Chain A
Amino acid sequence: DAKTTQPPSMDCAEGRAANLPCNHSTISGNEYVYWYRQIHSQGPQYIIHGLKNNETNEMASLIITEDRKSSTLILPHATLRDTAVYYCIVSPTGFQKLVFGTGTRLLVSP
């Protein structure tokens, strides 16, 4: 499985956009980029995933560089409830086991 690199922590003011980067320079052509988050003492929650094109849903936007070696998760208007650990994972399909790195701990402050 390709490895990902994320900053250990980030801060964001409530109401501002949170931009979480992820490097996956060894990603294979058939691997998707998945983003999950884990709020304290809960199971991970799916956020978004993509292959090549940028994606947007009701939770976030995913921007993938043209060479697919990095991506950015964007929470357009962060709220206090977005405080969590965010994991960027690459995987060929949703049926495959997910290898979790250390993630980015996002702290949203008033």
Chain B
Amino acid sequence: GAVVSQHPSRVICKSGTSVKIECRSLDFQATTMFWYRQFPKQSLMLMATSNEGSKATYEQGVEKDKFLINHASLTLSTLTVTSAHPEDSSFYICSASPETSGGLGEQFFGPGTRLTVL
């Protein structure tokens, strides 16, 4: 199956700093990618839909100025957590579906990025 990678896999940062997380589709192109967040012992919560060449669509309650999303190419989306605080510590996961599937197939998920804000 198709592969989605994320970098870094783990990051620890100080409160107030910004952290960038990359999501890449390694062997397929994706116009749309999704960003999820998962707190311990909870389910995945969709944060935003990343659209190549246009603005991201954020879910209700997600601050767009805090979680900056850039989808500059058909294989790369980035999520930047700006001015991170301890409550932003979470597991961030991206997903994408190949354009060639015509939307009839599955989404592929990255391995996730564990962010810890001290």
Contact = CB atoms under 8 A, between A and B. Distances in A.
Interface stretch (B13-21, B63-71, B72-80, B102-110): B102-110
Given A38-B44, A94-B105, A95-B97, 6 more contacts: A42-B112, A43-B4, A46-B109, A49-B106, A87-B43, A100-B43
A3 B97 CA distance: 21
A46 B108 contact: yes
Nearest to B32: A95
Given A43-B93, A44-B93, A94-B101, A102 B107 contact: no
Which interface residue of A41, A49, A97 has the most chain B CB atoms within 10 A?
A: A97
B41 to A, nearest CB: 10
Contacts of B36: 100
B34 to A, nearest CB: 6
Interface of A: 34, 36, 38, 41-46, 49, 87, 93-103
A100 B34 CA distance: 13
Contacts of A41: 91, 112, 114
B111 A42 contact: yes
A104 to B, nearest CB: 11
Contacts of A94: 97, 101, 103-107
B46 interface: yes
B106 A103 contact: no
Nearest to A93: B103
Interface string B22-53: 00000000001010100000011110010000
Contacts of A95: 32, 97, 103
Given A100-B44, A100-B45, A43 B34 contact: no
